[in-house]
Structure 1
């Protein structure tokens, strides 16, 4: 189910939660992607160019939402990182030989 985050500001209306994930409304672009690019120094214009399905206004509104709800979104992102780390660890434990071969191949290619 899709639900708006709030009924207050335009930036709040620009982000929705779908299946537990923050998304830019009316798109499949995750807020995670926008925030990651922003935190890595990309401008709103560069982010909009990276996601042609979004307008600059949508990117600006998503960034405004992030900045207004930074603690909440950062906690969500940290939770996702922790879950990814647990999945990564489980995969490494399930097939350590494959991951060792992958690591060795990466080293020899560098």
Structure 2
């Protein structure tokens, strides 16, 4: 008897901003792969992100392991983008003294 070949679709989709989301949720591929690489099991990831079905987490981890080079390149691009955005925001927003200003507001009752 020959076992039938089953092709499963990996439950990921790229949004308009270029982030890959898992299972029609806002949980990113970065998040799932990051947790997996930090040593979390699929069950632990499912517990932390209950909106993502356990089977989908296994599917995404399998995809990552089969396409590691491509996924790692994507993750590297995303990390670079995040760094650029953080730098842009830090330059654009004056955050120096923000803690002191917030504490002063709370003491005066100003909102």
Distance 1:92 1:18, change over 3 A: closer
Task: State how many pairs are aligned.
Answer: 94
What runs of 5+ residues in structure 1 fail to find an aligned partner?
1-7, 104-110
In proportion to residue count, which structure has more helix? 1
In structure 2, the residue matched to 1:106 is none
1:61 alignment partner in structure 2: 59
1:13 aligns to what?
A: 10
Q: How does 1:17-96 map to 2 (within 5 A)?
A: 17-19=14-16, 20-95=18-93
Gaps of 5+ in 2: 1-5, 100-111
Residue pair 2:10, 2:56 contacting (<8 A) in 1 also: no
- Give the corresponding residue for 2:3: none
TM-score of the superposition, structure 1-length normalised?
Answer: 0.70
Structure ID, larger Rg = 2
